[in-house]
Amino acid sequence: MRSGEDRALDRWVNRVREWTAPWAPERLADKHPFVAWAWGLLSLDFTGVAFGALFFCWSLTPSLLPRDWLYQGLIGGITAAIGYAVGCVLGWGAHRYWLSKLSWWPPPARVTTPIKVAVPVLSVIAALVMLVYSASWQRELAALMGAEGTTTTGYLRTLGLSVLVAALLISLWRVLRDLVRLIARYLNTWLRVPRSAAAPIGFALVAFLGYTLVTDVLVNAAYSFVNSAFSLQNDETREGVVRPIRPERSGSVESYAPWDTLGYEGREFVYRGLHADQLAAYNGAPAQEPIRVYAGLGTADDTNARLDVVIRELERTGAFQREALVVIPTTGTGWVNPTAADAVELMYNGDTALVASQYSYLPSWISFLADREKAAEAGRALVHRVHDRWLQEPAATRPKLFVYGESLGTQAGEAAFDGLADIREMVDGVLWVGPPNTNPLWRTLVARRDPGSPEVQPVYSDGLVVRFAEDAAAIGAEPGPWLYPRVLYLQHPSDPVVWWSPELIFNRPDWLSEPPGYDRLPSMRWFPFVTFWQVAADLANAAGVPDGHGHNYGTTVLDGWVAVAAPDGWTQADTERVRAVLDANAGRQGPEK
């Protein structure tokens, strides 16, 4: 005999059925087939819901950089949709290969109905609890970086946005699934293709059409649009930037590189910077006028022709008679870090020549996806052409030759060398800042680091030639000799450009197993799929944090220059004096009149 509790549960289940019956898809299908189909897009697999909620909660754990509720909502929705897909696949596999073979499966409705109610309710409760913890983590991370934190009540809005994003992605997938079924049905009906073959053919057709649409149509169209948009920006000039009047700058009247061909970043580079009279005032000694040579995409028709102009500019300005010559493979748009440029000119009191060349209109993050090989070829060509011409000067009088790169510029610079031996043979020092995780040389050195040294600050061959540093204090922290020419990588523990990699999808990296660096929360953990998306999301805000964190290296580049290229007799007092000048001039427009 059934107990009273069982009878009460049956009554509750029947009542739920009565409430929901008018909206059941099979009822709606009689009068409103389209409504029933749309309802089917929103109906959920409860194993998928459970995994989606789990992945969403994982996405709320700390990442490298703080983020607001809006951005977290987008990332949380994408991650929840991935979790939902994983749950559906696991649930399907469990049913097909295990549960369907059990005599008691499927369980009665009095068992499944409470579960179907409990899963979404518990998922929402778990998400809300995690959002409270996540808001606290976000405030802690923001405080660690000196940024403004979020509020708990404001952060709760993340859940609504994430649900919307996940629902849209799941519905899109179901539309594609229904399209596969429709094609399979027509193949079976019209062409008499067996059902067992019709479904795979339908899937292959939809996959092929989707891949073609995305790669050959959408991506190419988006690439063309973005390239066109940024080429228009490249023709603009920042307010207050005017043509240089000093012959030591490209774009001047005497220059072989016309002012209007240098591009947005090139005009910025040659216009800004300190001049001889200002350097003399800051350093307390007579100074030379710094040389800045630049070729934009519009300067010549191809890479070789642009580099011909670069070499002529170096010869015209007397760059090979200076004390230091710095080759700077640029980021995507042709940007050169003004702090790095000013720092080396202050150190050498203007007895310098900086040379750079543009290879793309696109920002680094787009160039990283679409133009990496182009960046490598441009960097290799620039370094080798300048080096070959530099070798023609007498060894006793030619300048010291240095290479500087930041972000994608490090990848362009690395491409010029076959390895450390090649670097030591060709140049007098290298400073690379914020290297992307895909850099071949960087990855090789990190993978072969000395046993016991952490990935976040590796030691390679006792630091004899190449060193890695997370901040100024770490640059000289390694004991033992550091031979010249020196190679230095600067990399923050919180820089997503350095730590993002597709390998994060399935593999936990060493840097997340080790004690955290100075600006990463110990509570950050690795989760499959989720950590990949979290760090990928951090890329978009890599430079949106205070100096000394993320992809903002501030005046740490000065300490890097001192380590690899300090003039004779340089002291720590000199470093702090130059740092004060850099801080005072940060963000100011150039003094060109």
Reduced 3-state DSSP string for 335-351? CCCHHHHHHHHHHCCCC
Identify the pLDDT of residue 208: 74
Question: What are the tens digits of pLDDT across the range 114-165?
Answer: 877 888 889 899 999 999 999 999 999 999 998 888 889 889 999 999 999 9
pLDDT confidence of 21, banded at 50, 70, 90? very low
Mean pLDDT confidence for 535-543 = 88
Identify the pLDDT of residue 140: 94
Identify the pLDDT of residue 13: 46
Q: Mean pLDDT across the chain, nearest whole number? A: 85
pLDDT confidence of 232, banded at 50, 70, 90? low
> Which tokens sit at 328?
């700077």
Identify the pLDDT of residue 15: 52
Q: Are 356 and 573 in contact (CB under 8 A)?
A: no
- pLDDT: is 478 or 302 the higher one? 302
pLDDT at 18 over 70: no
Residues forming beta bridges with residue 431, ordered by sequence position: 404, 488
Ranges 114-123, 240-249, 316-325: which has the least confidence: 114-123
Q: What is the pTM of this model?
A: 0.83
Tally of CA atoms within 13 A in the half-sphere of 65 that contains its CB:
31
Ranges 77-81, 294-298, 476-480: which has the least confidence: 476-480
Owner of token pair 């290296």: 553
Identify the pLDDT of residue 149: 85
- pLDDT: is 365 or 142 the higher one? 142
Mean pLDDT confidence for 18-27 = 47
Q: Which residue type does 80 have?
A: A
CA distances from 301 to 136, 261, 307, 328 (A): 54, 11, 11, 21
Distance of alpha carbon 314 from the chain centroid: 34
Ranges 4-8, 298-302, 389-393: which has the least confidence: 4-8
pLDDT at 16 over 50: no
Residues in the chain: 593
CA distances from 275 to 24, 249, 363 (A): 77, 11, 29
Question: What are the tens digits of pLDDT across the range 31-71?
Answer: 455 545 444 545 678 888 899 999 999 999 999 999 889 99
Ranges 88-92, 264-268, 334-338: which has the least confidence: 88-92
CA proximity to 331, closest of 543, 474, 559, 534: 543
Rg of the chain on CA atoms, in Å: 30
Name, in order, each residue with C-beta under 8 angstroms of 64's C-beta and a sequence gap of 6 or more.
493, 494, 495, 496, 499, 520, 524, 534, 535, 538, 550
pLDDT at 592 over 50: no
Instruction: Return d(Cα 390, Cα 325) in angstroms, integer.
Output: 9
Question: What are the tens digits of pLDDT across the range 500-525?
Answer: 999 999 999 999 999 998 999 999 99
pLDDT at 589 over 50: no
pLDDT at 369 over 60: no
Mean pLDDT confidence for 297-311 = 93
Q: Which residue type does 409 have?
A: G
pLDDT at 368 over 70: no
CA distances from 373 to 330, 332, 432 (A): 14, 12, 18
Ranges 175-189, 254-268, 367-381: which has the least confidence: 367-381
pLDDT at 580 over 70: yes
Mean pLDDT confidence for 401-428 = 94
Mean pLDDT confidence for 73-91 = 91
Instruction: Return d(Cα 290, Cα 274) in angstroms, integer.
Output: 8
Q: Rounded to a whole number, what is the distance in angstroms from the first to the last CA of the chain?
A: 99
For 104, the 3-state DSSP assignment is coil
Instruction: Return d(Cα 164, Cα 158) in angstroms, integer.
Output: 10
